[in-house]
Structure 1
Amino acid sequence: MARGIRYFLSVTLKLLAVMLASVLMIVVTRTATFPSYQTSPPACEESDDDFIPADKERLARFTSAIQLQTVSYERGVGTPQELVKFSQFIQESFPTIHGSPMVRRDVVGNYSLLYRVEGSDASLQPYMLASHLDVVPVAEEAKWVAPPFSGELKDGYIYGRGTIDAKHSLMGSLEALQFLLSRGHQPKRTLYLAFGHDEETQGHFGAKVISEVLTQRGEKIKFILDEGTPVGDGLLPGVSKPVAFIGVAEKGFMTLHLEVNEEGGHASMPKPESAIGILSKAISKLENNPHPNMFGTGVEARMLEYVATEMTLPYRMLSSNLWLFSPLVAWVYSKKPQTNAMARTTTALTRFNAGVKDNVISPEAVAVIDHRIHPMSSVEEVMEFDLKVINDPRVNVKVKNSRPPAPISPYGKDSPTYMMLQETIQQIYPDALVTPTFMVATTDTGHYWNLSNAIYRFSPYVMTPSDLARLHGVNERISVKDYERVMNFYYHLIVNMDKPLETKRHGHEDEL
């Protein structure tokens, strides 16, 4: 019997050794042979005759746009006078656009702008470039190195609210269109420019109305490009090159109102549990029981695979073999807030209100939870999870607001629109890698889902880890060089759309 056991153990160890050797061989082979998803189109050069320089006139227009305080405070509450000024400023600043017989301009929802640039080939489906007129309010103004609505130029950067969210894309696309039209060029494919006026409060009076107008016209849009993820420098571990992230989806959201009502009274005679205590326990359960880690089920895995060949060896091995290492990567991602947001539905306690007096037991406690829903989850799944975790009928849970995750747009080498965007990006940022991702924040493109199944979110400027806090924060800024790239990006994008999408490239040897 002992001999039989030894034989069994020997065979088992040999099988394990063979299996481990096989797994190791697969890992090594995949690491060495993993395909590259990158392209190398001809780069945009300053010496090209169709290069758009950030000269004094263009910079002056941009800084003037920053000086307009088009702030959105909450839904339906903004700065209408400033929006009217901005609209007038745009009309006066781009005479070639507004004087062109090919261009139709509509004011939509009182303040939003919708431009239609007529293409020469009516058989081609139009596309749309989107941005927004409004900005978020300014906090901690004393900490700004330049006044937040000054557009001040300082050490090669333009400072001000809206420089990267998102007047850079609005003004950059208009500069590109004006440059194109001034060269006597009519695009082959009809182009829309859509500028909502309340994106920062979810676009209910801007983008939503734009969508309704286009729907009434019977338009179906080939693809939509809106603000979104940037060119990250140092944002992705294991990659020394800049990485341009194209948002092919975005998280959904759900805002929950939690309320507990119990008998109040004098603090000298407390009951075993109070409304505040009951709600505090519910909140503690939610924070201590995060939603499942979903890394590897969605675009976040493709994000790593698309840059795997350019990673340092340890990261390349992991990213080339997510079939094996996904659980490890998922665990690592869960350790930091920035990466944890890519891996799961997040839970944030944003408000907690209770109590009226130091010696009075509050009969009511109210809290607000903000969930950002992973693209592979749903509003229903999140609610079911929360109720199961709380497991207390005394906690009344109501949905204040919600939106499901965005549909995932086509991406990769089988998607001509994605590849056209990738090659346009690499013309402007020739050293950058391009990869799909999803946005952890939300945009007003949710109102455009009925118009197109290909919605992309990308902002053509460089962001470093130290810049993350500038978005909606203090000292928002964009470099002059990046604003120049913004203008040239949109110009190349419009010109690239003159070609069949299978061609995808704009070479500077081609004449307009």
Structure 2
Amino acid sequence: MARGIRRFLSVALKVLALMLALVLMIVVIRTVTFPSYQTSPPECKVTDPDFIPADEERLARFTSAIQFQTVSYERGVGTPQELAKFVHFIQKSFPTVHGSPMVRRDVVGNYSLLYRVEGSDASLQPYMLASHLDVVPITEEANWEAPPFSGQVKDGYIYGRGTIDTKHTLMGSLEALEFLLSSGHQPKRTLYLAFGHDEETHGVFGAKVISKVLQQRGEEIVFILDEGTMVVDDFFPGVSKPVALVSVSEKGSLHVKLKVQAEGGHGSMPTKESAIGILARAAKKLEDNPHPNMFGTGPEARMLEYVATEMTLPYRMLSSNLWLFSPLVGWLLSQTPQGNAYARTTTALTRFTAGNKDNVISPEAEAIVDHRIHPMQTAEEVLEFDRKVINDARVVLDVKDSSSVFPPSPISPHGKDSPTYAVLQKTIQQIFPDALVTPTFMVANTDTRHYWNLSSAIYRFSPSAMSVADLKRIHGVNERISIKAYEKVINFYYHLISNMDEPLDVKHHGHTDGL
């Protein structure tokens, strides 16, 4: 009996050792042979005859654009006079665009702008470049190094609200189009420029109306590029090069209202449990029990695989073998707020309301939970998870209102077999030759939520470079962009428009994205 057990254990250990050796061999082979997703197109150089410099005239137009205080405060509440002045400024500043017979300009929803640039080949589907006119309100004005609506140039940087969110893409795309049309060139493919005026308050009066106009025209858009993720330094551990993050999807949004009603009364005679106490415990349960880690089920896995070959060895091994290491990588990501946002549906307790007097026990308490939904989950799944975690019938959970629910966006095609992603990657690496291009998803939301019915290929990318530390300037204090960075924005859009003259052919490769 004992001899038989020893023989079984010996065989089992040998089988286990063989399996481990096989797994190790697979890991090593994949690490060594994992394909690169990067390309090396010809670099855009300042000596090129079609290079567009950020000269005094173009710089003056941009700094002037920052001076318009086109603030959106809340839905339907903005700065109409400033928007009207900004719209007039744009028309005056780009005479070739606005005087060309190839360009049709429509003012939509009172202030939003929609341009159609007629292509020479009517058989080609049009594409669209999007941005927005409005900005968020100013915070901590006393801490700004330059007045927030001055457009002041200081130490090579342009300061002001909107410099990176996102008047640089609006003005940069118009500068590129002005240069192109001034040279007498007509693009082959029809191009739309769409500039909403209330993106910061969900775009219901701007982008949503633009979308309806294009639907009424029967337009089918081959691809859409809007604001989004950027070229970031020091974003991935083990990667020394800047990474251009192209968002091929967006997280959804769900605001859940938690409400408890209980017995109130005088503070001198408290009941065993109060509405505040019940709700506080429910809120703590949500914080202590996050939604499941979804890493590896959506575009976030591709984000690592597309830069794997450029990583130092330990990180390369993990990223090229996510079939094995996904749970470990997902856990590592979840240890920081930034990484956790890519790993799962996030839970943020943003409001807690109860009581109106120090000595009165409130009979009611309410809280708001802000969920950002992972692309592979639904709002219904998120709400049901919350109910199970709280597990208290006294806590009523409901969607705050229908306007606060946005499902995750569809995932746009990406990879070497996607012609629209390929032309975007080519353009990025022409302007940022040292950058690695990788797909990801937006943890915030853009106007693209209103364009899903226009195109299946929607990308969110802002062609400007910054450090991780500078990301906090978006919607924050001392928003700024360097003159050189703005120059790259202009040239990015020019090259993208030029590249769209080429056929959008699918290039087949020896491997696929299904690794």
- TM above 0.5, one fold? yes
Please say if 1:491 is aligned against 2:494: yes
SS in 2 for 1:403: coil
Give, in whole Å, the separation in 2 of the partners of 1:445 and 1:380. Answer: 22
Q: Give the equivalent residue in structure 2 for 1:420.
A: 423
Q: Give the equivalent residue in structure 2 for 1:250.
A: 250
Q: Give the equivalent residue in structure 1 for 2:324.
A: 324
Please say if 1:370 is aligned against 2:370: yes
Give, in whole Å, the separation in 2 of the partners of 1:288 and 1:383. Answer: 16
**Runs of at least 5 residues in structure 1 that lack an aligned partner in the other structure:** 505-512
Q: Is the 8 A contact 2:52 2:491 kept in 1?
A: yes
The structural deviation recorded for 1:495 is: 0.4
Amino acid aligned to 1:146: A
SS in 2 for 1:460: strand
Q: Give the equivalent residue in structure 2 for 1:261.
A: 261
Amino acid aligned to 1:350: T
Q: Give the equivalent residue in structure 2 for 1:336.
A: 336
Q: Give the equivalent residue in structure 2 for 1:61.
A: 61
RMSD of equivalent CA atoms = 0.9
Give, in whole Å, the separation in 2 of the partners of 1:126 and 1:236. Answer: 35
Q: Give the equivalent residue in structure 2 for 1:85.
A: 85
Give, in whole Å, the separation in 2 of the partners of 1:175 and 1:383. Answer: 46
Give, in whole Å, the separation in 2 of the partners of 1:139 and 1:8. Answer: 70
Amino acid aligned to 2:383: M
Post-superposition CA distance 1:204-256 (Å, at most 9, x none): 00000000000011111000000000001101111100100110001000011
Please say if 1:307 is aligned against 2:307: yes
Give, in whole Å, the separation in 2 of the partners of 1:260 and 1:314. Answer: 50
Q: Give the equivalent residue in structure 2 for 1:509.
A: none
Please say if 1:355 is aligned against 2:355: yes
The structural deviation recorded for 1:429 is: 0.3
Give, in whole Å, the separation in 2 of the partners of 1:292 and 1:384. Answer: 13
SS in 2 for 1:438: strand
Q: Give the equivalent residue in structure 1 for 2:512.
A: none
Amino acid aligned to 2:145: V
Please say if 1:456 is aligned against 2:459: yes
Amino acid aligned to 2:85: K
Amino acid aligned to 2:382: V
The structural deviation recorded for 1:503 is: 8.7
Post-superposition CA distance 1:238-293 (Å, at most 9, x none): 11001001100010000111111222110111111111011111101111110000
Q: Is the 8 A contact 2:257 2:399 kept in 1?
A: yes
The structural deviation recorded for 1:502 is: 2.4
Distance 1:171 1:214, change over 3 A: same
SS in 2 for 1:145: coil
1:408 corresponds, among 384, 388, 411, to 411
Q: Give the equivalent residue in structure 2 for 1:500.
A: 503
Q: Is the 8 A contact 2:234 2:242 kept in 1?
A: yes
The structural deviation recorded for 1:397 is: 1.6
SS in 1 for 2:501: coil
Q: Give the equivalent residue in structure 1 for 2:274.
A: 274
Amino acid aligned to 1:394: R
Q: Give the equivalent residue in structure 2 for 1:430.
A: 433
Give, in whole Å, the separation in 1 of the partners of 2:506 and 2:248. Answer: 21
SS in 2 for 1:259: strand
Post-superposition CA distance 1:279-310 (Å, at most 9, x none): 11110111111000000001000110001000
Amino acid aligned to 1:443: T
Post-superposition CA distance 1:87-137 (Å, at most 9, x none): 000000000000000000000001100000000111000000000000000
Please say if 1:29 is aligned against 2:32: no
SS in 2 for 1:187: coil
- The TM-score with structure 2 as length reference comes to 0.97
Give, in whole Å, the separation in 1 of the partners of 2:155 and 2:8. Answer: 73
Q: Give the equivalent residue in structure 2 for 1:508.
A: none
Give, in whole Å, the separation in 1 of the partners of 2:19 and 2:142. Answer: 63
Give, in whole Å, the separation in 1 of the partners of 2:365 and 2:6. Answer: 66
Q: How does 1:39-50 map to 2 (within 5 A)?
A: 39-50=39-50
Percent of aligned pairs sharing the same letter: 78
Q: Give the equivalent residue in structure 2 for 1:20.
A: 20
SS in 2 for 1:172: helix
The structural deviation recorded for 1:173 is: 0.1
The structural deviation recorded for 1:396 is: 1.7
Q: Give the equivalent residue in structure 2 for 1:482.
A: 485
Amino acid aligned to 1:491: Y
Post-superposition CA distance 1:353-380 (Å, at most 9, x none): 1111111101111111100000000011
Distance 1:7 1:268, change over 3 A: same
Give, in whole Å, the separation in 1 of the partners of 2:307 and 2:95. Answer: 43
Amino acid aligned to 1:175: E
Give, in whole Å, the separation in 2 of the partners of 1:503 and 1:115. Answer: 28
Amino acid aligned to 1:154: K
SS in 1 for 2:405: strand
Post-superposition CA distance 1:62-82 (Å, at most 9, x none): 000001000000000000000
SS in 1 for 2:158: strand
Q: Is the 8 A contact 2:418 2:506 kept in 1?
A: no
Q: Give the equivalent residue in structure 2 for 1:510.
A: none
Q: Give the equivalent residue in structure 1 for 2:510.
A: none
The structural deviation recorded for 1:442 is: 0.6
Q: Is the 8 A contact 2:135 2:200 kept in 1?
A: yes
Q: Give the equivalent residue in structure 2 for 1:128.
A: 128
SS in 1 for 2:424: helix
Distance 1:40 1:263, change over 3 A: same
Give, in whole Å, the separation in 2 of the partners of 1:415 and 1:65. Answer: 36
SS in 2 for 1:47: coil
**Runs of at least 5 residues in structure 2 that lack an aligned partner in the other structure:** 508-515
Please say if 1:101 is aligned against 2:62: no
Q: Give the equivalent residue in structure 2 for 1:205.
A: 205
Instruction: Tell which deviates more after alignment, 312-321 or 393-402.
Output: 393-402
SS in 1 for 2:371: strand
Q: Give the equivalent residue in structure 2 for 1:217.
A: 217
How many residues are paired up?
A: 504
Give, in whole Å, the separation in 2 of the partners of 1:167 and 1:285. Answer: 41
